[in-house]
Amino acid sequence: MAIVKANAYGHGLIPAAKATIKGGASALGVALLQEGVALRSAGITTPVVVLAPTLPEQADSLVAHNLSQIIGHPTAIPALEAAAKRHNTRARIHLKVDTGMGRLGLLPDEAPVLGKKIAENPHLFFEGIATHVAWECAEDMDKATHQIKTFAACLSKLTDISVPWRHAANSAMTVHMPESHFDLVRVGLLTYGIPPTQGAGALSLSPALSIKARIVQVRNFSTGQTLSYGGTYTLTRPSRIALVSLGYADGYNRRMSNKSHVLICGKPCPVVGAICMDVIMIDVTDIPPVSTGEEVVLLGQQGDYKITVPDIAQWANCISHEVVSLLGARLPRHYVS
């Protein structure tokens, strides 16, 4: 299952979904009903699972668009059953088991009971049963293993019931814990060539996304000049500063102010001053003179240097998921087949 929620982690919902299907994905995972509806409206017929809870009034649209719904509480069933009756079909359900995440789901002892009720209901199709692992770091593998064993024990109680998809593994588990694979793996960051953990860095991954911009102005400043809001950066020498029309409204995190760098002419150049909503400032004093239109790489490779999603996550003190999923809608996406 390729996870394409949050605008396919910032990559673009419809193009990314079509690419993952072409690449062999058996199903797509979204968080919201409207994401699933958008996929159906684009002509995508591949199974789509809505991974987050929906409201009862959304059940009709779920069933009408042949979307599968993950549920973690029996109160979700009546609306789905009623919608299925209206459409003369069966609502497709994945049951969520809470094995230690402490978020969505039934307790392991409760899940088999509800699972049997779903399987016996003529208006429901028990398509899958799932859990989600809270622990992704190498030092927490014992806790992750405990969750998987708990899930396996729960599955063993579903006797005489056919459930096509039993799934637990996210990207990190897909890499580090083969016993978590069951019938299906839910691959998020890995889909886009981004390592989900430090240990996954040894994989041969090719990032799908680069972020590039162009210099719109170059200015010369004297020693002592402060830059941008709050004057958080003071020049200690005469400097050439390049301006780029891109900022935190585009997902270039303000927390990276005076910490990050970009690539220009194949060389790292520091981002200086507070990152603005629409502009960043780059010190280009130490590279050959540049002018308006020069390419700037904010994420990706130029020459012998590259900037990765984990690099940006470290500068912004966040996680890789945030870096790409918060990319702004006004950034134009260009797709290369």
Q: Where are the domains of the chain?
A: 2-196, 211-325
Which tokens in the block code for residue 319? Answer: 């996680």
CA 24 – CA 27 distance, rounded (Å)? 9
> Contact, 131 vs 95, CB < 8 A?
no
For each of the chain's 337 residues, which pLDDT tens digit applies? 999 999 999 999 999 999 999 999 999 999 999 999 999 999 999 999 999 999 999 999 999 999 999 999 999 999 999 999 999 999 999 999 999 999 999 999 999 999 999 999 999 999 999 999 997 765 688 899 999 999 999 999 998 898 999 999 999 999 989 999 999 999 999 999 999 887 665 688 999 999 999 999 999 999 999 999 999 999 999 999 999 999 999 999 999 999 999 999 999 999 999 999 999 999 999 999 999 999 999 999 999 999 999 999 999 999 999 999 999 999 999 999 7
Provide the annotated active-site residues.
5, 229
Model pLDDT, residue 141: 84
Q: How high is the pLDDT of residue 201?
A: 56
72's tokens: 């973690």
| Residue set of the binding site | 103, 277
Written as one letter, the residue type at 32 is L
Q: What is the pLDDT of residue 199?
A: 66
Report the C-alpha gap between 149 and 8 in whole angstroms. Answer: 30
Q: What is the CATH number of domain 211-325?
A: 2.40.37.10
User: How far apart are the C-alpha atoms of 291 and 279, rounded to whole Å?
Assistant: 16
Predicted structure pTM score: 0.94
Q: Which two tokens stand for residue 152?
A: 């396996």
Numbered residues of the known binding site for substrate: 103, 277
pLDDT the model gives residue 61? 98
DSSP 110: T
Provide the Cα torsion 171, 23, 167, 136; round to 10°. 0
Q: Cα–Cα distances in Å, from 170 out to 29, 47, 129, 173, 329?
A: 11, 18, 14, 5, 26
Rounded to the nearest 10 degrees, what angle do helices 33-41 and 13-22 cross at? 70
Give me the sign of the Cα torsion angle 67, 69, 75, 77: positive
Question: Does 2-196 carry CATH code 1.20.1250.20?
Answer: no
- The DSSP secondary structure of 178-245, one letter per residue, reads GGG-TTEE-BSGGGGT--SSGGGGGS----S--EEEEEEEEEEE-TT-EETGGG-EE-SS-EEEEEES
Q: What's the pLDDT at 159?
A: 87
Predicted local distance difference test score (pLDDT) of residue 284: 98
